[in-house]
């Protein structure tokens, strides 16, 4: 078995390099060394990430290997078809926002429509310990000279699908050729979690909870008016409504704007009924405590009218990005604050940083400095700090914290060394 694994690693890496050089394509390669604690045992890890791009196509692999104390390869994540498929980091065609975009692999940020149902969902919350091979497909009828219809769709894991979502939208008045009115979109969305009580297993994958017998479905409709559509700016007005099966319903009216390809700004008013929560499938949904309790928690949610505001600054593709979001209601009830930062090594040369925090249950400014208590169930903290030694070598500290229902922190720390090359 070990010989097969090593042969596979050498073959796939060599094939990527030869194919890229023979065809003049972009090829990147990252090698990482680190440690991981699994089932109370500490293992050494080796991660090989070849990355190849050609035209609209792109493919990236994550060949993740664990070694025991005797430096033998641990075969647990190499003994099934699913294990081999989970070595795919991504396979994509096109980019998000293009008439045809498709990707298989792992996703950091999936939003359906304007985000009332699914917003910034990720299937990588416990990566690399847990890997899910998701699928996203966006198709605009303009590709076939029929711009009246379009589709967005997503599956969390092709090998064990639990969360499925789609949005069908139409431009029914496009034939009128009237500014704003003719470009109006009307959409219908549906998302379902067929296994909302999925729990952590004693291996590198997830197992189904035997007590889970029901599914959670959310249906929604929306309308969108593009008030301004220019190369350097666009402004969109939208209205969404959604209903959670067996619970309540709510609506959101919002305005999104994108300016100079640098600033992304949005403001929304939320009008939620009893037993309803917007952005149900969010960045923390894969947290076991959140996922297992979110549906029942809705029974205690009272109707309210609230707000959500966000602002983002993006310089280049990966050079520098900063994002802040706040949401709450119009009374002294708790506020949620979200912040994301990414600083590429091209800015500070030696150090690169990426981080995210979600702080829920904020009732006073001092809560920002208090990370203890039951209000932290929907909070999250992640920090990656990389020391770049030369052009190809790096050392990265990865720190991540989630909280359980009682407010107890669940923290993980990893230290990784890496080598990266471009051909």
Tokens of 100: 């045809």
Pull the structure tokens for residue 316. 């280049």
Q: Domain range holding 182? A: 94-300
Residues 6+ positions from 237 with CB-CB distance below 8 Å? 224, 225, 227, 254, 255
Asked if residue 342 and residue 240 are part of one domain, the reply reads: no
Q: Which of 139, 165, 170 is nearest to 153 (CA)?
A: 165
136 and 195 part of one domain: yes
What is the total count of domains within the chain? 3
Q: Distance between CA 261 and CA 236 in Å, rounded?
A: 15
Whether residues 265 and 182 share a domain: the answer is: yes
Mark the ranges of the chain whose per-residue pLDDT is less than 70: 1-27, 37-40, 76-77, 198-213, 316-318, 419-423
Closest to 186 (Cα-Cα) out of 141, 148, 139, 146: 148
Say which residue the tokens 């091979």 belong to: 133
Say what the pLDDT of residue 15 is: 64
Domain identity same for 186 and 100:
yes
pTM for the whole thing? 0.85
The predicted structure's pLDDT at residue 332: 74
Q: Are 250 and 278 in contact (CB under 8 A)?
A: yes
Query: Distance between CA 297 and CA 277 in Å, rounded?
Result: 10
β-strand partners of 336: 327
Residues 285 and 158 in one domain: yes
C-alpha 327, offset from chain centre: 19
Contacts for 268 with CB less than 8 Å, ≥ 6 apart? 252, 253, 254, 255, 307, 308, 309
Whether 414 contacts 34, CB under 8 Å: yes
The number of beta carbons lying within 10 Å of the beta carbon of residue 156 is: 24
Res 216: pLDDT: 95
**In this structure, are 197 and 51 located in the same domain?**
no
Give the C-alpha distances (Å, rounded to integers) separating 305 from 101, 170, 302, 329, 408.
36, 29, 10, 6, 31
Helix runs in 49-162, H state only: 81-85
42 and 81 together in one domain: yes
266 and 162 housed in the same domain = yes
Instruction: Name the domain boundary from 63, 93, 123.
Output: 93
Q: How far apart are CA 53 and CA 317, in angstroms?
A: 16
Do 407 and 374 contact (CB within 8 A), yes or no?
yes
Could you tell me if 296 and 331 lie in one domain? no
Residues 259 and 313 in one domain: no
d(CA 218, CA 215): 10
Contact between 100 and 143 under an 8 Å Cβ cutoff? The reply is yes
- Are residues 114 and 71 part of one domain? no
pLDDT in tens, 35-66: 776 666 777 888 888 888 888 899 988 887 88
Q: What is the pLDDT of residue 211?
A: 43
Final residue of a domain: which of 46, 73, 93?
93
Nearest to 219 by CA among 160, 156, 294, 167: 167
pLDDT given at position 411: 83
Compute the distance between CA of residue 248 and CA of residue 302 in angstroms, rounded to an integer: 10
User: According to the model, what pLDDT value does residue 208 have?
Assistant: 45
Q: Do 112 and 191 meet the contact criterion of CB atoms below 8 Å apart?
A: yes
pLDDT for residue 3: 57
The last residue of a domain, from among 70, 93, 116:
93
So what's the pLDDT on residue 209?
45
Regarding whether 280 and 227 lie in a shared domain, the answer is yes
């Amino acid at each position: 078995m070990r010989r097969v694994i090593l042969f596979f690693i050498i073959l796939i890496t060599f094939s990527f390099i030869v194919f890229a050089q023979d065809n003049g394509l972009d090829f990147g390669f990252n090698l990482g060394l680190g440690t991981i604690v699994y089932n109370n045992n500490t293992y050494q890890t080796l991660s090989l990430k070849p990355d190849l791009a050609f035209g609209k196509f792109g493919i990236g692999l994550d060949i993740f290997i664990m070694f025991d104390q005797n430096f033998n390869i641990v075969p647990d994540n190499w003994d099934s078809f699913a294990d081999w498929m989970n070595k795919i980091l991504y396979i994509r065609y096109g980019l998000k926002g293009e008439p045809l975009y498709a990707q298989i692999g792992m996703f950091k940020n999936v939003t359906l429509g304007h985000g009332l149902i699914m917003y910034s969902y990720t299937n990588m919350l416990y990566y690399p310990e847990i890997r899910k091979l998701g699928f996203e497909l966006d198709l605009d009828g303009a590709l076939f000279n029929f711009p009246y219809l379009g589709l967005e769709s997503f599956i969390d894991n092709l090998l064990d699908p639990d969360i499925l979502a789609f949005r069908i939208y139409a431009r029914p008045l496009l034939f009128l050729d009237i500014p704003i009115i003719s470009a109006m979109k009307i959409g219908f969305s549906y998302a379902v979690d067929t296994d909302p009580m999925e729990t952590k297993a004693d291996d590198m994958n997830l197992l189904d909870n035997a007590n889970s017998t029901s599914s959670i479905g959310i249906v929604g409709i929306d309308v969108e008016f593009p008030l301004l559509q220019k190369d350097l700016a666009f402004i969109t007005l939208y209205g969404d409504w959604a209903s959670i099966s067996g619970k309540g319903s709510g609506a959101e009216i919002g305005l999104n704007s994108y300016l100079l390809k640098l600033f992304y700004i949005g403001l929304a008013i939320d009008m939620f009924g009893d037993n309803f929560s917007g952005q149900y499938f969010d960045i923390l949904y894969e947290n076991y405590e959140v996922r297992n309790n979110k549906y029942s928690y809705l029974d205690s949610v009272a109707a309210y009218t609230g707000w959500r505001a966000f602002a983002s600054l993006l310089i280049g593709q990966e050079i520098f990005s900063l994002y802040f979001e706040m949401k709450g209601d119009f009374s002294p009830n708790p506020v949620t604050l979200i912040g994301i930062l990414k600083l590429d090594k091209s800015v500070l040369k030696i150090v690169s940083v990426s981080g995210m925090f979600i702080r829920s249950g904020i009732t006073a400014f001092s809560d920002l400095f208090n990370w203890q208590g039951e209000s932290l169930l929907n909070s999250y903290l992640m920090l990656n700090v990389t020391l770049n030694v030369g052009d190809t070598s790096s050392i990265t500290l990865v720190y991540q914290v989630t909280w359980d229902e009682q407010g107890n922190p669940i923290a993980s720390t990893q230290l990784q060394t890496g080598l990266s090359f471009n051909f």
